[in-house]
Amino acid sequence: MHPAAKVAIGVGIGCAVLAAICCGLCGLGYTRGIMPMAQKLEQAEKDEQATRATQREMEALDAEFPPVLSGPLAEAAITEDQLARYARIRAATAEPLARVDAEIAKAFPVSDGPPSAFKMMRTVTGLVGSQIGIGTQWRACVEEALPVLRRESMGPTDLARLTELVEWRYLRRPEARTLGLAPEERSELQGLLLEKRFLDSLAPENMPPSMKIEGQDAEQLKARHADIDKRVEELRAKADLDVALSGPTLALLDSHRGELEALPAAGVAWLASLTQNSPVTHGLESMGRGVQWERHVPAESSAPEALPPPEPTPPPEGASAP
């Protein structure tokens, strides 16, 4: 399992234990919370191993069906047959991709008021549970996609490039904007968007001064949110720069625009990442790993208070005092 996922799961379990102690329900918290979470973690490890095995099979398709779209995409001239195969793959994978996207949305519920210890616990443990759910849906998506790609004689490299050509360069779907970036910046943008959703779900503008998340108070989190917004806009602008298409490709896509636009957009960007980790792991490393409540000490009282002098020891009976 991704190390950041384990950290988040550990935090979720720790928060559940703390809440159980606070409520005087340690036994109940263990039997209803910690044990099921441990069992889910064990299942998630098995799911990840199975997903990786399927992804290795998918990667092998590039050797069986060598990529043909190897040059600059702005110069690529795709064929009617390539586009037809791509459209069939898109239609066959639309439902599992939408399930992955829906599971991601569950991980970041919008806060319904000022934070509290229990809301923080619910947010973090909810993220943990969703990470497991996303992993399950990602495994199902990869497993369903493998036979479809094999049937259409296409490897994941050509599929990723066709997805960028059709969904971003031609249709300009907002859901596919990350595909307009190099792999490193694509992962960065995906991670930043997930972190932004995480911060939005915590509503740092309502945090009391005694609360910190990963050592950051409300003002620091708001500053981080602003930094994320600025970087996201920079990356989005960069993705918008390179959307050129060759004349033959543009003419072919124009002739099929209606059927391409009718394909569902949910989760389409993940179609270019079928051989990578579960989507939510792109953002886990940059998300808050813990919630801390600290006693608020005013700045003027920050120095430790001097201890009173010790009481003098009384002299033993019969002895004279000095």
Please give the pLDDT value at position 282: 47
Mean pLDDT of 75-98: 96
pLDDT average, residue stretch 65-79: 94
d(CA 125, CA 7): 12
What sign results for the dihedral spanned by CA atoms 86, 89, 94, 97? negative
pLDDT band at 125; cut points 50, 70, 90: low
CA atoms 261, 263, 266, 267: torsion sign: negative
pLDDT tens for each residue of 273-320: 898 876 665 444 444 444 444 444 444 444 444 445 555 555 555 544
Rounded CA separation 288/156 (Å): 33
Query: Between the CA atoms of 71, 72, 77 and 80, what dihedral angle is there, to the nearest 10 degrees?
Result: 80
**Residue found by looking up tokens 């939510």 in the block:** 280
Tokens of 131: 């990470």
What is the pLDDT, as a whole number, of residue 116?
Answer: 57
Spatial separation of the C-alpha atoms in residues 109 and 83, rounded to whole Å: 37
DSSP state of 213: E
pLDDT in tens, 177-224: 999 999 889 888 988 888 888 777 776 666 666 677 667 777 888 888
Whether residue 14 contacts residue 29, with contact meaning beta carbons closer than 8 Å, is answered with: no
pLDDT of 280 reads 61
97-119 pLDDT, tens digit per residue, is 999 988 888 776 665 555 555 55
What global pTM score does this model have? 0.72
**DSSP string of 93-135, one letter each residue:** HHHHHHHHHHHHHHTSPPP-SS--HHHHHHHHHHHHHHHHHHH
pLDDT in tens, 259-282: 999 999 999 999 998 988 766 654
Q: What pLDDT was estimated at residue 131?
A: 73
For 303, the token pair is 């120095």
